[in-house]
Structure 1
Amino acid sequence: MRKLIIYCLGIVLFFGSCEDKKKASQTETEIENEIKTEGEKKIESKKEETQNFPEITNENAVSFLTEYGEKNPETKVLITTRFGDIEIELYKDTPLHRANFIYLVKQHYFDETFFHRVVPNFIIQAGNSDLTSTQKKRAELGKEYLLPAEIIPGRVHEYGTVSGAKEYRENPDNRTAPYEFFIFLGPKSSTTHLNGKYTIFGKVTKGMDVVEEISKVKADDGDWPLNNIYISAKVIE
């Protein structure tokens, strides 16, 4: 009888051990699958951001950005600087500018560009640099195109609005230079030459203290900061 009890106990322990090992194996497999899935998502996301797109020209800009905007509906971007972060919300009623900005962010265009123009109590402007890499990016993405103006009646430059920089040469239609944007700080009294002539396509929702600090850095006679203010950008929503 004692041997029978020991024998039965051994069987129970054996199968219990097998069950524990099975559960442990299942748990390890589930964790591995989760890690693999997460990795695949990141790889797929990276592929989406770096996939080959056609060079943007004045001829295809509207059709390309319209289609891109439909597939990429995000409206919130985080700009990172050594002074801190700036969160920007893009307006849906300026669809070409919104799509263009999201496209440039996802293509990593803004990374390692600068806030290259700072005017206290007026604006800070970003999207350019004196690095050859910036000109190379522009050549690859589309060197010549401009964005059609999307000027909304009644919308004016206010504290924290984000607007597209404008190409002055032969530009009676107020088309936007696609790679540069500026954040407005100045009083409304200084907006006479801006309102109705520059497309306002977003606003700063967080980080105006950072914008203020950047606007006060020392700059040369051309408003270019004496020490480069690098930026990077990513889509957050």
Structure 2
Amino acid sequence: MCNNKEKEPIVVLQTSYGNIKIKLYNETPVHRDNFIKLAEQGFYKDLAFHRVIKDFMIQGGDPKSRKTESEDDLLVVEEKKMGDTTTSEIKFPMYYNKRGALAAARWGDAENPTRASDASQFYIVTGELAFDEKLNELEKTRFERLKQRIYNKLQSDNKDSIKAYYKEGKREEITELRNKMLADAEKEAEARREEILYTEAQREFYKTRGGAPHLDNEYTVFGEVLEGMDVVDKIQNVKTNEKDKPIERILMNVVVLEK
């Protein structure tokens, strides 16, 4: 039978500890193309993994971590300001933060309500096992977040009416509109509940191989490790300081193998 599925690009993440072979998802084309472009430009050459947390993830791709003469010039996470971003392509539940997932780092919702991705930083999930009790709890939390986002959008859509009611002192109308928006948000969230639920296959993966499910539906997952998780594990086990930065610089480069 003919397979019409578009071929997925393959890249190799070269590190001080060995190579990691990764495929990029075609369903996240903005992140796929951006990652390939940066790799072909040599952007990632001599950058370092600047954040490593055992049983969670390894993170790199920040230009401030580029190899320098002085260790003091390396990235200090607390001083970094939000820079260039890439449009969010969150495809949960299709893609999730399973062990081996490649995803884009981003700033929090307060600074970044659209959940846009950092233009170059990425992480690879190592994670830990997660069982039904935790996954059920995360689904409930995710439902409340979905409902809040819907409500926030309704507030934005009705901001002119809300301002007018406040200006005119129409408290009853404000209460009535708020109650209607809450009801509408609940109804829409319920209709979209499938967006935040795990499949049985995903639950089985988390229970047997692990990951970081608390990041699901919050960050753009745009690829996964095909070979080299042993290298990822070596990196996640290095010694780090109190800021989760490796004591010894771990360099990287990204080479496009197939596209």
TM-score (norm 2): 0.57
Structure 2: distance between partners of 1:205 and 1:120:
20
Following superposition, the deviation at residue 188 of structure 1 comes to 5.2
Q: CA deviation at 1:125?
A: 0.5
Give the residue type in structure 1 aligned to 2:214. H
Per mean C-alpha deviation after superposition, the further-off stretch among 99-108 and 125-134 is 125-134
* Letter in structure 1 aligned against 2:100: G
Residue 12 (structure 2) pairs with residue 83 (structure 1): no
1:144 Cα deviation after fit? 4.1
**Consecutive unaligned residues in structure 2, runs of 5 or more:** 1-6, 75-81, 131-210
Secondary structure of residue in 2 paired with 1:151: coil
2:37 paired with 1:103: yes
What residue ranges of structure 1 are gaps of 5+ in the alignment? 1-72, 136-142
Partner of 1:178: 119
Report 1:19-58 matches (<5 A).
none
Name the CA distance, whole Å, in 1 between partners of 2:106 and 2:249. Answer: 22
Deviation at 1:164, TM superposition (A): 0.1
Say which SS state the counterpart of residue 223 (structure 1) adopts. Answer: coil
What does residue 191 of structure 2 align with? none
Once the 2 structures are TM-superposed, how far is the Cα of residue 148 of structure 1 from its aligned partner? 1.2
Supply the AA of the counterpart residue of 2:227.
K
Which secondary structure state, in structure 1, belongs to the residue aligned with residue 232 of structure 2?
helix
CA distance in structure 2 between the partners assigned to 1:192 and 1:234 by the alignment = 29
**Is 1:194 matched with 2:215?**
yes
The offset of 1:74, in angstroms, is: 6.6
Q: CA deviation at 1:81?
A: 1.3
Count of matched residue positions in the alignment of Structure 1 and Structure 2? 158
Question: Which one of the candidate residues 77, 87, 90 is aligned to 1:148?
Answer: 87
Q: 2:226 aligns with which of 205, 215, 223?
A: 205
Partner of 2:247: 226
Name whichever of 167-176 and 199-208 sits farther off.
167-176
Give the counterpart letter for 1:157 in structure 2.
N
Aligned-residue CA RMSD in angstroms?
2.3
Structure of greater relative contact order (alpha carbons < 8 Å, 6+ residues apart): 2
Percent of counterpart pairs with the same letter?
A: 35
**Take 2:241 and 2:103, find their aligned partners in 1: how far apart are those partners?**
23
Q: Deviations over 1:117-166 (max 9, x none)?
A: 1111110001124448799xxxxxxx943111111131221010000000
Q: Residue 235 in 1 paired to residue 256 in 2? A: yes
Name the larger-Rg structure.
Answer: 1
Name the SS for the 2:88 alignment partner: coil
Residue 105 of structure 2 aligns to which amino acid in structure 1?
A
**Separation in structure 2 between the aligned mates of residue 148 and residue 78 of structure 1, nearest angstrom:** 24
Q: Distance in 2 between matches of 1:214 and 1:91?
A: 24
**Secondary structure at 1:159 match in 2:** coil
